[in-house]
Structure 1
Amino acid sequence: MATIVAAGTTADPRYTKVAIWLHWLIGLAVITNIGLAMLTEGLPRETHHAAMGIHKAIGITILMLTLLRILWRLGHRAPPLPANTPSWEKWTSRVVHFLFYALLILLPLSGWVWMSAAGSPVDIFGLFTIPPIAAPDKAFADVMHERHEVMGLTMLALVVIHLLAVVKHQFIDRNRQLSRMNPF
């Protein structure tokens, strides 16, 4: 007789399918947005502008997916880390995940505020335009631009740390941590 085990429980150390798919969708969207922001910087104005239109739409999508993921997480606990995980790794994991969630919310919001203050509409893939959330103000837009870039670089650093941790757990520790987030 087969026993049914719920994902995210002690018996099954995997995340739920919904959490896994949201993780990968958000992760790929974040990496895409980092690439769009960094790799289109020196391109002709029209090309850069078009790429930034996609960047803005993906950013708002990341915000919505993150809010959905947080709501999902409220009802579905993350599976526990293996019992032999060193305390410094548990602490680091909590800090990095907190920073990820904070940036996944603050980064798109800062971009939205920046674009609003700059008087630039945020179009969502040609489907609709979201309303501005700040009054036009060039000085404020400049400040938000700087903050958005700093948060973007911080997100890049976190992504690198996260990927290095995945490599460490999978290939050095060989503790199968990657299987917790494997969608297949």
Structure 2
Amino acid sequence: MATAASPFAGSTREPRYTKVAIWLHWLIGLAVIANIGLAMLTEGMPRDVHRAAMGVHKALGIAILALTMVRIVWRLLHKPPPLPESISRWQRSLSRIVHFLFYALLLMLPLSGWVWMSAADRPIDVFGLFTVPSIAAPDKALAELMHERHELLGLTMLALVVIHIAAALKHQFVDRSGIPARMNPF
């Protein structure tokens, strides 16, 4: 059993995130990776293939936004498990910064796409279930600006995903810290 001085003393298992937090993490993470792939890998494909992929990309972006809002509410109501004491101060600080950036990008990226599509007067159909209402009046200059911002945010997200995966692999195979097990759905 853990002592007050050390939440991991005498324990062979690290505290874990809740099942809801774990599943939201993996659903959002896989959706983000799929969306980055859809945007980047279909760029040079025939117009009809690219257009179909972008329809899925937009719908998935709205789903990511909704799941992120659920995750933020869940996170506010359920404290995440503490990091092991073996994690250095600089890694703890970097972890907080990366998590903040993820949440910011998980909101800003789909919102920028939504504003872009609204300003371009292109409705977003969510998997044939409903059409998302516009949040900006048609405006060609705004559409072009948001297109640029959306792509920049997407590249930033890609870099952050790569850093996150590299850090998880380092913690698992180099440090053997057990941190990745906290998010293992199985």
TM-score tier, shorter chain, comes to: over 0.9
- Pairwise CA RMSD of aligned residues? 1.3
Q: CA deviation at 1:178?
A: 1.1
Structure 2: distance between partners of 1:109 and 1:94: 23
Secondary structure of 1:22 counterpart: helix
Deviations 1:105-129 (A, max 9, x none): 0000000000000000100001110
1:125 and 2:127 aligned: yes
Pairs within 5 Å for 1:99-138: 99-138=101-140
Q: Secondary structure at the match of 2:125?
A: strand
Q: Give CA-to-partner distance per residue, 1:7-57, whole Å, 9 cap, x none.
A: xxx475100000000000000000000000000000011110100000000
State the AA in 1 paired with 2:141: A
Partner of 2:64: 62
Task: Give me the TM-score of the superposition, normalised by structure 2.
Answer: 0.93
Distance 1:15 1:127 in 2: 32
Letter in 2 for 1:84: S
Choose the corresponding residue for 1:176, options 170, 178, 184: 178
Amino acid aligned to 1:15: Y
1:35 paired to 2:34: no
Q: Partners of 1:57 and 1:135 in 2: how far apart?
A: 20
What does 1:162-173 correspond to in 2, within 5 Å? 162-173=164-175
Deviation at 1:142, TM superposition (A): 0.1
| Alignment partner of 1:45 is 2:47 | yes
Q: For residues 99 and 110 of structure 1, what CA distance do their matches in structure 2 show?
A: 15
Query: What's the TM-score, normalizing by structure 1?
Result: 0.94
Secondary structure of the structure 2 residue equivalent to 1:84: coil
Aligned counterparts of 2:90 and 2:155: Cα–Cα separation in 1: 24
User: Counterpart of 1:96?
Assistant: 98
Identity among equivalent positions (%) equals 70
4+ residue runs of structure 1 moved beyond 2 angstroms? none
